[in-house]
Amino acid sequence: LYPPLQLCGTTVKQSSLCNIGLIEKGGFKIGCRVSVTKRGEIIPKIEKVYQHMPNETDIIIPDKCPECGNKLYTNADRTKTQCLNPFCSSIKVGKMNKWVNTFAIKELAPTTLGKLLDAGIVDGTIKSLYEIDYGAIEKLEGFGAKSAEAIKRNLSSVKEVDLADFIAGFNIPSIGPSI
């Protein structure tokens, strides 16, 4: 985070250092002064450190999944860190969310998917999305008959899909609509 600044006609309040490799290579620390640009006049990007400060501290890189506590895996070039625990609720929500996003299914944001998973209405598989007990959704706090009906309607609205999108929806690493 940094103080709000004007870039390309918009106010930018934050941007991300997207991977451990960039943090380490760039020498970024909490409290250092950085150069921020906009990529394609849309996406704010922290480019480099332009001044180290005496009070800066190291960025703590987590080694355990905040959701399940499993050890995190980081690839060799340190560009990707992830939990590999197939039972992690965050992984399960992510898989279902990839499916939902691939087919633009409304009413099933990650928060909703997490609530359905926590309540045992889905089990984290794509199959479970199509075996939902809509009566159970109606009984969930913050939901009701209208929410259950909207979820049912949106899930059943996708009847035919391209094979490439179908495969992409399973979130298989390195496999998508175009390999």
- Round to whole Å and give the CA distance between 90 and 94: 6
- Round to whole Å and give the CA distance between 121 and 72: 28
At 50-88, the pLDDT tens digits run: 899 999 999 998 999 999 999 999 998 888 899 999 999
For residue 1, the 8-state DSSP code is: -
Q: In Å, how far are 26, 29, 34, 48, 174 from 51, measured between CA atoms?
A: 12, 10, 7, 9, 38
Q: In Å, how far are 101, 113, 139 from 98, measured between CA atoms?
A: 5, 11, 26
- Round to whole Å and give the CA distance between 7 and 12: 7
Strands (E), the chain: 5-7, 10-12, 33-39, 43-51, 72-74, 81-83
Instruction: State residue 176's pLDDT score.
Output: 67
Portion of the chain with pLDDT greater than 70, in percent: 97
Instruction: Please compute Rg for the chain using Cα positions.
Output: 21
Mean pLDDT of the chain: 90
CA 83 vs. chain centroid, Å, equals 13
Residue 1 pLDDT greater than 80, yes or no: no
Q: Which residue reads 């180290």 in tokens? A: 52
At 96-118, the pLDDT tens digits run: 999 999 999 999 999 999 999 99
Instruction: State residue 114's pLDDT score.
Output: 95
